[in-house]
Amino acid sequence: MHDMGCAITDKALLDVQSLSVHFGSVSDPVRAVDGVDFHIFPGEIVALVGESGSGKSISALSLARLIPEPAGRIVDGRIIFQGLEVLKLKSSELRKLRGARIAYIFQEPATSLNPVYTVGWQIGEAIRLHRKGVKVKAEVAKLLAAVGLPDPARAAGAYPHELSGGMQQRAMIAMALACNPDLLVADEPTTALDVTVQKQILDLLVELREKRGLSILLITHNLGIVANVADRVYVMNNGKIVESGETKTVLRTPQHEYTRKLLKAVPRLHKTA
């Protein structure tokens, strides 16, 4: 065996090292992400949890360099995805990475879907771009049904504003899966879904991991979801990762004060004495 650092880079699908992202002025920046390390192995579901505003979304967006520049700047670190140095890629190489290999379910679907195209057209476009030879219309219908939309034909013909919050979220999920990615970055993918549809979506993601070896970075505030689906978890607070490990170990025996505070605040449906 090699030493640990080397082994991770060799075997991991994604390896992020001392990533820092700043916003605002250079002299007094907002340190949104402040020296973060994490990795994901092929077929792994890794959760990223933490305080609102702690840098989860910005860390996730950095992976395919989707940070709004020049306001935001990756000032330090390495991102190695499938052996590629993401921070050194040319824009043509980046375009190939986005969508095709790393797909995103963005946190706010209403603002990520294009308001002037129907949902079916947008999902179809993702298929046309990334999966040559696939029958577009049939695949769109299949995806919309897979994410639990009760009337896929109506959803396909609808503009985003004609769908409810949770239907938009499911359209967003279908669009991300349309690209057939290797890594799915799912930023709060089920917040607008009732728990029965939520369960259906989580089952779908787990199935894609089993069948295709899809790797998933799952950002969520719902520790019940983390406990049920994630292999490992990273806990973020104030731009830094404060704790990480096997999901059950971290949630059963949290070491960091912030993780303990978080676990204490989990709302329970049925009060136990």
Q: Residue 24, interface with ligand ATP (CB under 6 A)?
A: yes
Write down the least CB distance from residue 57 to Mg ion, Å. Answer: 3
The four Cα atoms 93, 94, 96, 101 give a dihedral, to 10 degrees, of 130
List % helix, strand, coil for the chain (3-state, nearest 5).
40, 25, 35
Contacts of 128 (CB under 8 A, 6+ apart): 136
Within 10 Å of residue 9's Cβ, how many Cβ atoms?
15
Write down the least CB distance from residue 36 to ligand ATP, Å. Answer: 11
CB nearer to another protein: pick between 44 and 187: 187
Site string for ligand ATP, 177-196 (x = CB under 6 A): ---------------x----
Write down the least CB distance from residue 165 to Mg ion, Å. Answer: 4
Write down the least CB distance from residue 61 to another protein, Å. Answer: 11
Site string for Mg ion, 40-69 (x = CB under 5 A): -----------------x------------
Write down the least CB distance from residue 95 to ligand ATP, Å. Answer: 23
Write down the least CB distance from residue 101 to ligand ATP, Å. Answer: 22
Q: Which of residues 127-166 bind Mg ion (CB under 5 A)?
A: 164-165
- Answer with the entry of ligand ATP, Mg ion, another protein, none that 108 interacts with (C-beta below 5 to 8 A by kind): another protein
The single-letter code of the amino acid at 83 is G
Give the binding-site size for Mg ion (rule: CB under 5 A): 4
Cβ atoms 101, 81 nearer than 8 A: yes
Give me the residues paired with residue 13 across strands: none
Distance CA 177, CA 152 (A): 16
Cβ atoms 119, 173 nearer than 8 A: no
CB nearer to another protein: pick between 122 and 247: 247
- Answer with the entry of Mg ion, another protein, ligand ATP, none that 270 interacts with (C-beta below 5 to 8 A by kind): another protein
| CA 50-104-32 angle, 5° bins | 40
Which residues contact another protein (rule: CB under 8 A)? 23, 49-53, 56-58, 68, 71, 107-108, 110-111, 150, 162-167, 169-170, 187-188, 191-199, 202, 221-225, 227-228, 248, 251-252, 261-262, 265-270, 272
CB nearer to ligand ATP: pick between 68 and 133: 68
Write down the least CB distance from residue 100 to another protein, Å. Answer: 26
Nearest to 5 by CA among 17, 21, 19, 23: 17
Sheet holding 72-81, edge to edge: 30-40, 14-23, 72-81, 84-85
DSSP string, 183-205: EEEEESTTTTS-HHHHHHHHHHH
User: Applying CB under 6 A, which residues contact ligand ATP?
Assistant: 23-24, 30, 32, 52-58, 68, 71-72, 107, 161-167, 192
